[in-house]
Structure 1
Amino acid sequence: MKKLQLIILLSVYCLYGHAQTNSAVSIGTTDSIFSTILNEQRPLLVYVPNSNEGSIFSKKVYPVVYLLDGDANFLSVVATLEHLSANQMCPQMIVVGIPNTNRNRDLTPSKGELEPPFRDSTFVANTGGGEKFLSFIEQELIPKIDSKYPTEPYRMFIGHSFGGLEVMHAFTHKPHLFSSYLAIDPSMSWSNQLLLNKIKSMPFTDNYSNKALYLGIANTIPEELDITTVLKDTSMETEHIRSILELNTYLNTQTQLKYKGNFYPEESHGSLPFIAHYDAFRFIFDFYQLKFEMQDFMNPETDIVNKVINHYKKLSTVFGLQMKPDEQFVNGLGYQFLQMGQFKVSEQFFKLNVTNFPESFNAYDSIGDYYVAKGDKANAIESFKKALALNKNATYSKDKLEALLGD
């Protein structure tokens, strides 16, 4: 019985699998945009899930991750998303990596303070462009990505260090711009804690009711202190960690917001991003995975169809748009139950796809297979004819139709 359960569950999760369809191993493409706001050419790294490539199913659209320090973090974020989405723990997502041209300028929302010998006047003069950079993202970059790639409205913003500071700036000043935020060890001590104090003074209203924020905190505490005693320290050495812990304490009081702060005692400022990406995706999309029980498959009177429908209704609420049950996933479930001889459930899944994707030739081809299995020749013929009407190049539908007409 355990072996049968494993086989069934593995077959279900394989319905979400997505693999390269050609011999090249590709993880993304390079793109660019000229910004009139910044007056410069900006390189981009773009990853688009390949589930649309050569697919017989309806074309998909995807949420988008906007990733700061794209040149440093692009590969790890894409790999993490590929792994989690293949296991149905988060959606497939487009990743837009934004490499730096002038990091100190773009990722600091205010001018810094002189802190010799670490920050001299030349360094400080090249800071404070974060608001302008955010305008570039809102007014130029997002419209370009939406016009060129198969996007949906849900957007996530990820940044580390100065990038985390810019993420918190966007979270505070433009909450409409992104649905979820990941700030990794953000530089909240910047400019005498200017942004931190702003956050602590603001109420989190209904603008944040459907937002999610994950705060990753590295262990930058000196060896002679711990996470409790460091809060009483007043040295410049601990200002960074104290500011982040102060932010975490305040955000934990904001019940309107989906929030989690996580301290990583074994991770440094530099090592934290990789593991924080994974943990943040798991937290932000903790609602995403559709969990099946053995009885969903083995009980002939199972209500698994409504379980799938209701799950996607929940996703629609969170993502803020109508999300239909994934055509490929539903199609696979239809064949799964057909092979198990549960014709009633199989029919419900195939009809669900016909209803949700009336322009999909494959939806009609699949329900045609169901009618063939049931011995319903008339409906099988009608279904294969509809498939061919939608796609005259569907040779396998044509072959099946000719076989039925020749009987």
Structure 2
Amino acid sequence: MKKSIFILLVIVFVTGLRNNVFAQNYIKQIDSIYSDILSEERSFYIHLPKKTDKIYPVLYLLDGRSNFDAVLAITKHLKRHGQIPEMIIIGIHNTNRTLDLTPSAMQVSRQGQPIPKGTNGGGENFTNFLKEELIPYIEKTYPASSHRTLIGHSLGGLLAINTLIHTSDLFNNYIAIDPSLWWDNTKLLKETNAILAHKDFKNQSLYLAVANTLRDDMTFDRVEKDTTNATSHIRAILDFTKTLTKETCNELRFNWKYYKNENHGSIPFAAEYDGLKSVFSWYNFNINDEFRKPIATPKYLINYIENHYTKASEYFGYTVKPKESFINQLGYRFLDPSNSDNMAKSFAFFDLNIKNYPKSANVYDSMADYYEKQNDLVSALKFASKAFEINKNTLYKTRVESLKKQIN
């Protein structure tokens, strides 16, 4: 009995610890604004990066109450592995989900039942709320850039595609998860076919995720010929993908995937993960692969890093630099006096940090470490003194005094 109680207490402790860590790493706050367009107060979750001394791209998530925690976990994982940038995340709450997320009004349901007036078809109004009120508020109040990503599932996916087609410049990236393109007798799908042929979507991305809503006796070929309500959802999505695949002149970066083992309800988590990797595929930064190349000289590696962040800056519309801590780690990774090639790489990384962060004491202190490893104490003192000049930390002062004694 005592053993069982002990095990139970351990489980409670570990669970509490894990939840506490989760809370610390996935901090979400609640904010709200009054919308003149919607004539009501609208609330939203927000997650901010720890450092707020620079601006960040913003991810806007429809159905924010139900999907927010999952998206936070996904973005944290992908960011840690260099797949996507660090972002502000906004999870938008709905007061009437169907009204908010449907761009046109239906009078009668697919089953022939009358739909009360005023309960749907408010999507354009909701989009105006995003454009005229919420986004300006976010970019004024928080360290947010104008590089934006929109994620929507089901009716949210419908609104995401409607926004791409009719207000395309509002977001840079769109992730539409099993969108309800059947809505209003596929009205949006019909509009899309006409618009896609002549509209320019340069520098914009769409990732489309398709759930398995087929009956067991159905295949893609049979769905295309089917006319029943049972296949109207996936049929509309497949028609849309076929149109987008054919229209290659509009410069839209389009990718889609069929999730055979996911249904309409289970698909969001997998699709959000894949979708973020897809729309930020250009951001993927794996320098470890470059280290293994025979041409990986210090100059080659620095050029590779600088070219990557120049490209990122062009996408984001503002200057993006490699993190000081990341480059610093690379410098110490190659700080090996027994290998002159590695020492040359170490110097190049430390020097890059000095170039990018000239007001940081740490970058000069790291370069002092490099020169100490080279037994060049005079140069080590020069950089240690610069670190102490910027930051009067006792550790820097002690190091300067120690180097002076060794030189004398």
Cα 1:312–1:243 change in 2 (3 A) is: same
TM-score, scaled to structure 2:
0.85
Residues 175, 207 of structure 1: 8 Å contact kept: no
For 1:289 and 1:272, how far apart are their aligned partners in 2? Answer: 24
Residues 60, 148 of structure 2: 8 Å contact kept: yes
Q: Please name the residue that 2:397 is paired with.
A: 398
For 2:360 and 2:385, how far apart are their aligned partners in 1? Answer: 13
Cα 1:117–1:352 change in 2 (3 A) is: same
For 2:64 and 2:216, how far apart are their aligned partners in 1? Answer: 32
Query: Which residue among 326, 329, 332 is the counterpart of 1:329?
Result: 326
For 1:37 and 1:23, how far apart are their aligned partners in 2? Answer: 34
Q: Please name the residue that 1:277 is paired with.
A: 272
1:355-390 residue CA offsets vs partner (Å, 9 max, x unmatched): 112222222222232233333334333333333343
For 1:229 and 1:300, how far apart are their aligned partners in 2? Answer: 52
TM-score, scaled to structure 1:
0.85
Q: Please name the residue that 1:201 is paired with.
A: 194
For 1:156 and 1:214, how far apart are their aligned partners in 2? Answer: 11
Q: Please name the residue that 1:192 is paired with.
A: 185
Paired letter, 1:306:
N
Between 291-300 and 336-345, report the one with greater CA deviation: 291-300
1:284-318 residue CA offsets vs partner (Å, 9 max, x unmatched): 22232223237549988453222222222232333
Unaligned runs of 5+ in 2: 1-19
Paired letter, 2:351:
K
The count of corresponding residues between Structure 1 and Structure 2 is: 380
Paired letter, 1:348:
A
For 1:275 and 1:249, how far apart are their aligned partners in 2? Answer: 22
How far 1:330 sits from its partner (Å)?
A: 1.0
**Identical pairs, percent:** 39
Paired letter, 2:289:
E
Does the alignment pair 1:71 with 2:65? yes
1:122-162 residue CA offsets vs partner (Å, 9 max, x unmatched): 1x421121112112112222222223333233211000111
SS at match of 1:65: strand
For 2:200 and 2:316, how far apart are their aligned partners in 1? Answer: 15
Paired letter, 2:328:
N
For 1:305 and 1:385, how far apart are their aligned partners in 2? Answer: 26
For 1:86 and 1:306, how far apart are their aligned partners in 2? Answer: 23
SS at match of 2:216: coil
Cα 1:237–1:83 change in 2 (3 A) is: same
Q: For the pair shown, which has the larger CA radius of gyration, 1 or 2?
A: 2
Q: Please name the residue that 1:368 is paired with.
A: 368
The structure whose RCO (Cα within 8 Å, separation 6+) is larger is 1
Residues 189, 243 of structure 1: 8 Å contact kept: yes
Between 251-260 and 27-36, report the one with greater CA deviation: 27-36
Between 191-200 and 29-38, report the one with greater CA deviation: 29-38
For 2:279 and 2:358, how far apart are their aligned partners in 1? Answer: 33
Cα 1:205–1:153 change in 2 (3 A) is: farther
How far 1:254 sits from its partner (Å)?
A: 2.6
Q: Please name the residue that 1:8 is paired with.
A: none
Residues 103, 162 of structure 2: 8 Å contact kept: yes
Q: Please name the residue that 1:34 is paired with.
A: 34
Q: Please name the residue that 1:230 is paired with.
A: 223
1:187-210 residue CA offsets vs partner (Å, 9 max, x unmatched): 112122221111110135674121
Unaligned runs of 5+ in 1: 1-19, 54-58
Residues 204, 257 of structure 1: 8 Å contact kept: no
